[in-house]
Amino acid sequence: MLSIAFVLGTRPEIIKLAPIIFEVEKREIIHTIIHTGQHYDENLSSEIFKSVGLRSPDYNLEVKTKIPHKQLSEMIEKLGEVYLEVKPSVVLSVGDTTSVLASSLACIQTGIPYGHVEAGLRSFDLTMPEERNRRLVDHMSSILFAPSERAVINLNNEGIEAKRIHQTGNTTIDSIRIFKTLIHKKDTKSADIILEQVNDFFVLATIHRVSNVENKENLEEIVKALVEFKDHSIVLLIHPRTMKKIEEYDLHKTMKQNKKLYLFSPVDYPSLLKLLKHKNCLLVLTDSGGLQEEAAYLQKPCLTVRPNTERPETVEHEINFLVEIKASKILQKISLILSEDFEYRFSTFKTPYGEGYASQEILNLIESNFKLLSFKSPSNYRSGSKSYNLLEMGVSMDKELIKDQFNCQLVSSFDENGYPKKLEDKLKKGDRVRILKD
């Protein structure tokens, strides 16, 4: 009988896994919720369970240390013990945190299939812990749930077997679809307090990424921009780690210089959606990944305070903008965004992350594939190991015909200019296809 274990450790993971857990409950599938304790703060964790209507975790591993290697090793040890006790058919986690890496490594060590939700996102910046985590996790996954076509292409290009990869959309959009209709029914006291205090146009801001918060120069530049921008109010939902560093770097006095800069604790998810959807919210300023998707779906322009993003589709459509971490650049970009009309851009933007039904697709795939999820020993390769070749198509040809004619697997494809593209059922003349010889 199918049983699923969900591993989560941070606020975004709770929000993104909630739609799958709701669907599991609807289908009456046996399941277990495991909290690593990575973010076990009343506002960041336990209150989020209540606000989205999830039951409390079945296990809280209470991993308290913040030292990265000790945190990872303690999570692996404790997760392994729980897996052996619960014996799930498959473990699911979402994203790119230490909890996600630990959950996949513990699966490898205990021989339990692992499914990665939000697979294939890439910033191509290996200085980011998140980028290192997601790459490692994707290559260890039994089944990968990619949120977009671009994510599928990324996984293809890394040589991951196509049969393990499935484009499902992202559960972030599921969460918005589910909760945006409930914000008038749910308790959104946190948003109501903010909107009562800030009763004019505002920029909604979140800053929490390690590269910004724990880099004094970067944080000073961001704070300087927030202090110098006085055209409208700024609602800064401030992460505990960010507040700690602001106090450590003695920046809280500087922030008081802008009377229109309001600091609030992180809010529950329905409250966040209420703020995002509100007519007075002009712009999102963030270094978050998920908030870029949420802003795009809810048609709010986004300024991403990072040199790169794993959501490039939003940047290409010019509804999300990357900015150099310099106060002058941030202020210049805010002014530019606020001076433009985004109605046409949003009217022509089709979200690449699905229409809000990824959780159903993910469970359909698991129910139809769970007996086949475990890794199998590879077949013998004639050359002694994998042998990749690149074919250039002289004529158009169906994918299945190429497989039969060349006795190979198709791994990835590129257009005539060498740019990666989705592996279609029919390859065109001029396309290049990377194959794996059997």
pLDDT 10s digits, 365-392: 999 987 667 666 666 666 677 778 888 8
Neighbouring CB atoms inside 10 A of 308's CB total: 15
Q: Give 250 or 184, the one with higher predicted confidence.
A: 250
311, exposed or middle or buried, with CB in 10 Å at 0-12, 13-18, 19+?
Answer: buried
Question: 186-347: which CATH architecture?
Answer: 3-Layer(aba) Sandwich (3.40)
Q: Given pLDDT bands bounded at 50, 70 and 90, which one contains residue 423?
A: confident
Cα–Cα distances in Å, from 228 out to 215, 224, 260, 340? 20, 6, 10, 21
pLDDT at 380: 66
User: Measured in whole angstroms, how far is the alpha carbon of residue 254 from the centre of its chain?
Assistant: 32
Q: Given pLDDT bands bounded at 50, 70 and 90, which one contains residue 313?
A: very high
Lay out the sheet containing 408-414: strands in order across.
Answer: 387-392, 432-437, 408-414, 420-421
| pLDDT higher than threshold 80 for residue 25 | yes
| pLDDT higher than threshold 80 for residue 75 | yes
User: Measured in whole angstroms, how far is the alpha carbon of residue 429 from the centre of its chain?
Assistant: 36
Q: Where are the beta strands (DSSP E) in 276-376?
A: 281-286, 302-304, 320-322
Lowest mean pLDDT among 46-55, 75-84, 371-380: 371-380
Task: Name 215's Cβ contacts closer than 8 Å, sequence gap at least 6.
Answer: none
Mean predicted lDDT score pLDDT of the chain: 92
In contact, 237 and 205? CB cutoff 8 Å: yes
pLDDT 10s digits, 105-119: 999 999 999 999 999
| pLDDT higher than threshold 80 for residue 154 | yes
pLDDT 10s digits, 185-235: 667 889 999 999 999 999 999 999 999 999 999 999 999 999 999 999 999
Lowest mean pLDDT among 39-48, 88-97, 336-345, 426-435: 39-48
Question: 3-170+355-372: which CATH architecture?
Answer: 3-Layer(aba) Sandwich (3.40)
pLDDT at 422: 84
Q: Where are the domains of the chain?
A: 3-170+355-372, 186-347, 387-437
Domains 3-170+355-372 and 186-347 share a fold: yes
| pLDDT higher than threshold 90 for residue 405 | no
Which amino acid would we find at residue 417? N
- Single pTM value for the model: 0.91
pLDDT at 408: 85
Task: Name 144's Cβ contacts closer than 8 Å, sequence gap at least 6.
Answer: 115, 116, 119, 120, 138, 155, 160, 164, 165, 166
Side-chain-side CA neighbours of residue 134 (13 Å) = 26
pLDDT 10s digits, 278-305: 999 999 999 999 999 999 999 999 999 9
Residues 171-186 have a mean pLDDT of: 83
Catalytic residue numbers?
208
Task: Name 406's Cβ contacts closer than 8 Å, sequence gap at least 6.
Answer: 391, 435, 437
Q: Give 96 or 380, the one with higher predicted confidence.
A: 96
Q: Percentage of the chain surpassing pLDDT 70?
A: 94
pLDDT at 49: 87
pLDDT 10s digits, 127-147: 999 999 999 999 999 999 999
235 bridge partner residues:
204, 262
| pLDDT higher than threshold 70 for residue 321 | yes
> Tokens representing 128?
């980011």
